[in-house]
A and B are shown apart, each in its own frame.
Chain A
Amino acid sequence: MPAIANPPLKLLEKLCRAVSVSGDENEVRKIVLNEIKDYADETKVDALGNLLVTRCGTERSRSAAAKRLRVMLAAHMDEVGFMLVADDGDGLFEFATIGGIDPRNLVGKQVVVGREHMPGVIGAKPIHLMGGDERQHAISVDSLRIDLGLGGKAKIGDRGTFAPNFRRAGPSLMSKSIDNRIGVATLIELVKSAPSNIDLLAAFTAQEEVGLRGAKVAAHYFHPDLAIAVDATPANDFPMQTEGENTFYNTKLGLGPAIYVANSSTIDDPRLVRFLQETAEKEKIPYQIRQPGGGGTDAGAIQRAVSGVPVVSVSVPHRYTHTAMSLSRMDDWKNTLVLLHTALKGMTPEILKR
């Protein structure tokens, strides 16, 4: 096992408690910048708010430099959330969702609004006052309100999200924003421990949750030889999820990092999929193949940037994605970190041979 085996929990907690709804990634970006500044050869915050970090390999000879792969790693800083769209008075605000949120997950949740994290709650009619029919239907976002309780000065256009939280429970972690602070924390660690055989191009991206928007321009800036998107992916692994055998689990907790083969946005480069699998098998690192299906990661946008980039995605599985509290296993995170670090160390131009 490589030396990187201990994931930095304190850092993850800080990142998870930060609020960075798509389009305003300032809070997370500040934390990342502070963490990596002593390790980077170059940092840049681009027009869309991506934080782009270059750490060159240290193999100095001219021939080695010519052979060094330029490897882009992308982890999105943003999270899903809300935006206030109308002031109803009395501390009540109408809101729209930003990114994919199921309205059924909203009722009764604590939220924070604005850069000052004003506390609020998304309330609903209590069960005492509901007619029988009302209980059968989900409440639409239109008829929900964020209630700030007249405490604070919110403005239309302010962003908000689920209230910051972070918990440990045995081998598990819980937080509102495991998607994708766990990827951000992973990427920070990889920048700090970057191997010397590659040029590491770390993109902490903006606006992934609203359509992979930041990654597209980040890839244009780096124009790498290959790219890996590091993200979090749903685990739908309850045994009773379907009648009989569960055949649509996406991923399962505890089986290790999920390597992608295809989703809505990308068919992952078979050469990179094979390389990651071989790396895992050689080093006895647990891994799983994510079931092909829907969803998208930054890899989709990166793949089609400039004259094309070979891509693959690796995600930490977690339950209850895009809700007030999702849950993942510490070991899956650890093994994701180990797999990526080992893979980077073993990368040579040979892996792109057809």
Chain B
Amino acid sequence: MKALIEKLTNVFSPSGFEDAIRDVIRKEIKGFADEIRVDALGNLIAHKNPSAGAKGAKRVMVAAHMDEIGLMVTHVDENGFVRFSNVGGVFGRYAPSGRVRFTNGAAGVINNELLSNFRETPPLDKMFIDVGATSQKDCPVKLGDVAAFERPFLDLGKRVVAKSLDDRLGVAVLIETMRRLKSRSERVEGAAPNEVYFVFTAQEEVGTRGAGPAAYGIDPDVAIAVDVTPTGDTPMGRKMEVALGGGPAIKIKDQGMLADPRVVSWMAKTAERSKIPYQREVLIMGSTDARAIQVTRAGIAAGGISIPARYVHSPSEMVDMDDVENSVRLLAALLNSKVSL
């Protein structure tokens, strides 16, 4: 599992430019789905048990976004310095001295204009990327090119650190769950009675733009977004009940949605029955693909499994491997259970 997470977080694929990560995921899930397709916005959709049709079987959509936050070139100046804007929620305080990698392979380091007060965090438009160029001519990037933050994967044993665990970790959980679910041809008693769509969504970080159209095309009965959620367990940190290592968090509310209470109770009961530790998530800031899915078509019952993560949207996000394993177990148990809302 660690190897898969490392592989996924090593890919540079900011929102709207998901080609690279989609290719990697497609290879990983080959043979574990009955049908794989890519929709108009670039969402990767893997369909399992397409002809389920069993009595009481539901059409379940599980979404994890494959894009990551990044930067886009707005101007290359006469001395080859690169100005940029954000793609998704980039925090200025994490940017200066950070290294970035462009999707065309070029690399650079972020720094900023001299500020009158050196203690303040400069706004992004006072920063630039130095790619080692000396003029517009020899600059390896141009207006509109995109980059993501570069930071090597770090294995701390029980915990791991990487960039873009938001939400390559969700992607890893979906891939691992797909591998553990039996396909229809080899279905045994008690195996997945539901028709499942695993969706690796595009453009979540810029406003959950991929998930809604994906849900429109699939028209599921129930949907689960698998994403990371911040924790409240660091020194003098935010006030939040979720802690690293406490198990997957079942989403009740975030800034963008109220989870369907029936989905919340289905998740909690399934976790209890399967003896999987879990936490309850009430998130003040942020949201997930579930918010876009919930209001698609005439409405879709939606909820979320949130994997606790520290330092979200920094280039060094941290997660606990027990939480990862328990998230896979919970998702597999849900998909193998009868969905009664």
Contacts and interface: CB of A to CB of B under 8 A. Distances in A.
B143 A304 contact: no
A74 interface: no
B85 A292 contact: yes
Interface stretch (B12-20, B259-267, B302-310): B12-20
Interface residues of B, number: 32
B75 A291 contact: yes
Interface stretch (A75-83, A89-97, A144-152, A305-313): A305-313
B39 interface: yes
A268 B142 CA distance: 16
A273 B73 CA distance: 15
A70 B71 CA distance: 32
Interface in A188-222: none
Contacts of A121: none
Nearest to A288: B143
B85 A293 contact: yes
Nearest to A268: B16
B286 to A, nearest CB: 18
Interface in B162-212: 203, 206, 209-210, 212
Nearest to B41: A308
B38 A267 contact: no
Contacts of A269: 16
A261 B43 contact: no
A342 to B, nearest CB: 21
A289 B217 CA distance: 32
Nearest to A292: B72
A261 B83 CA distance: 15
B74 A308 contact: no
Interface string B12-51: 0001110100000000000000000011111100000000
Interface in B123-144: 125, 142-144
Nearest to B217: A307
B214 interface: yes
B144 A273 contact: yes
Interface in A285-342: 289, 291-293, 303-310
A232 B130 CA distance: 33
Contacts of B125: 248
B78 interface: yes
Interface in A57-81: none
A262 B16 CA distance: 9
A289 B209 contact: no
A308 B210 CA distance: 8
Nearest to A294: B85
Contacts of A262: 16, 72, 85, 87, 144
Q: A270, A292, A303, A305 — which one has the most chain B CB atoms within 10 A of its CB? A: A292
B209 A304 contact: yes
Contact of B209 (A261, A270, A303): A303
B203 A293 contact: no
Interface of B: 15-17, 19, 38-43, 72-75, 77-78, 83, 85, 87, 125, 142-144, 203, 206, 209-210, 212-214, 216-217
Give 7 nearest A-B pairs by CB, closest first.
Answer: A267-B16, A308-B213, A307-B217, A261-B144, A308-B41, A308-B40, A247-B75
